[in-house]
Amino acid sequence: MNRDEAERALSVIRKVIQNTREDLVAHNWGLIWMVHAFTNLSACLAGWYVAEQDPPRPVYWYLVPFAVVGALDLVIVQVLRSRDQGVRSYVEWQLHGIWTSFVIFTAAGALALQLSGAPEAPRQFASLFALTTGFSFAMMGVVFSRQWIFAILFLIVAAIGPPLPGGAQWGLIGAGWWAAMFLPGLAMHREKQRRARDGTTSEFL
């Protein structure tokens, strides 16, 4: 590949990333992520509450609030997603694929911990949840480079969390979820409002 071909290839990649960003902004995903920041934080705080119980509750107790919030998040997407842009886009299918995989692997990990019968299994679920969360944000980081920051954050939380007292690890996970959803969501929501006013183009996420 010569220099001109390489520059054309890079131009195509930049356009793909730009269109991905434009698509999410147009479909109101900024507001959706901002709302999800608070619902997902509430699920992690519920995990903190479960972790503080004595005697320790089985692993599946953690899945109840996350299942409720997961269903609520889907309802929020259906209510807030803009419908004037046609059918679900490719990047939206990618996002749904990433987070569906997250749910499946997290549930499978919880089942494995529960079946292990280990006394520390309930506490270990927090680290497992941080790892599957971090991996999912790493997958998003392939297109949205700044999501790698949150992927690394969750990796650190998974590593340092187990020695923390009580359910403090869930507090860190909840704070990470809030930041990972609210900050990019706020940027996209402001961009959509600015675009509605003066038609400016998007910046990279």
CA distances from 84 to 23, 80, 87, 120 (A): 12, 12, 9, 50
Question: Structural domain of residue 17, as residue ranges?
Answer: 3-198
Is 106 inside a domain boundary? yes
Is 64 inside a domain boundary? yes
Dihedral angle at the C-alpha atoms of 125, 130, 133, 134, nearest 10 degrees?
-150
pLDDT grade for 204, boundaries at 50, 70 and 90: very low
Q: Encode pLDDT of 127-176 as tens digits.
A: 999 999 999 999 988 767 788 999 999 999 999 988 888 789 999 999 99
Is 79 inside a domain boundary? yes
Exposure of 196 in the CB half-sphere (CA atoms within 13 A)? 10
Instruction: Provide DSSP, 133-153.
Output: HHHHHHHHTTTSTTHHHHHHH
Query: Per the structure, how many domains does the chain have?
Result: 1
Per-residue pLDDT, 106: 96
Examine the pLDDT at 14 and tell me if it is beyond 70.
Answer: no
- Of 202 and 135, the one with more pLDDT: 135
Examine the pLDDT at 55 and tell me if it is beyond 80.
Answer: yes
Q: Provide CB contacts within 8 A for 31, sequence distance 6+.
A: 80, 185, 189
The pTM of this model reads 0.81
Instruction: State the chain's mean pLDDT as an integer.
Output: 83
Is 204 inside a domain boundary? no
Task: Kindly state the helix (H) or strand (E) to which residue 115 belongs, with its residue range.
Answer: helix 90-116
Is 49 inside a domain boundary? yes
pLDDT grade for 20, boundaries at 50, 70 and 90: low
Q: Quick one: DSSP state of residue 66?
A: H
Contact, 176 vs 154, CB < 8 A?
A: yes
Which of 10-19, 111-120, 137-146 shows the lowest mean pLDDT across its residues? Answer: 10-19
Is 97 inside a domain boundary? yes
Quote the CA–CA distance of 143 and 47 in Å, as a whole number: 30
Is 205 inside a domain boundary? no
Is 203 inside a domain boundary? no
